[in-house]
Structure 1
Amino acid sequence: PVLHDTAAYSVCEGDSLSYEWFVTPLGDLIQNNLVTDDLTTPFPSICVDTAGVLNVVLEITNSYGCAQTTSNVPFTVRGLPVPELTFEQPSICLPTTVSILNSSSGAADFSMSIPGYPTYENFLSPLELDVEFPGYYNAEFTVSNIHIIDGHELTCSVDTEYVNAFEGRTPPVAEFAVLPDTLIEFVNPVVEFVNLSEGQIENIWSFGNGEGSGELDPEVEYEAAGFYNAQLQVVNEYGCTDVYSQEIEVYTDLYIYVPTAFTPDNDGLNDAWLPSIIGQDVIATYECSVFTRSGDRVFYTTDPNEAWIGGNDLSGEGVHYSSGGEVFAWRILIKKKDGQGAKTYTGQVTMIR
Structure 2
Amino acid sequence: LLINISNSLSNTYTVSLLDSILKSFVIDTNGLLIPEGVPITLTPNFSGEVYIVSLTDNEGCTREFNDDVYIEVKQLPQLAINEDDICVGELSYTLNNATPIGGAYFINNIMTDYFDVENLQTGSYNIRYEYTDPVTSCYNEVTEVITISESPEAGMLFSPQPTDIDDPNILFRDNSNEEVYFPEWHLGDGTIIYDELSFWHTYADTGTYTIKYYITNIYGCTDSVINQLTINPICTVFIPDAFTPNSDGDNDYFYPSIIGENTYNMKVYDRWGEIIYNEDNGQWDGKVNNNDIVDGVYTYSISVFDFNNRLFIYSGILNLIK
Q: TM-score, normalised by structure 2?
A: 0.50
Report the structure, 1 or 2, having the larger strand content.
1
Larger radius of gyration: 1
Q: TM-score, normalised by structure 1?
A: 0.47
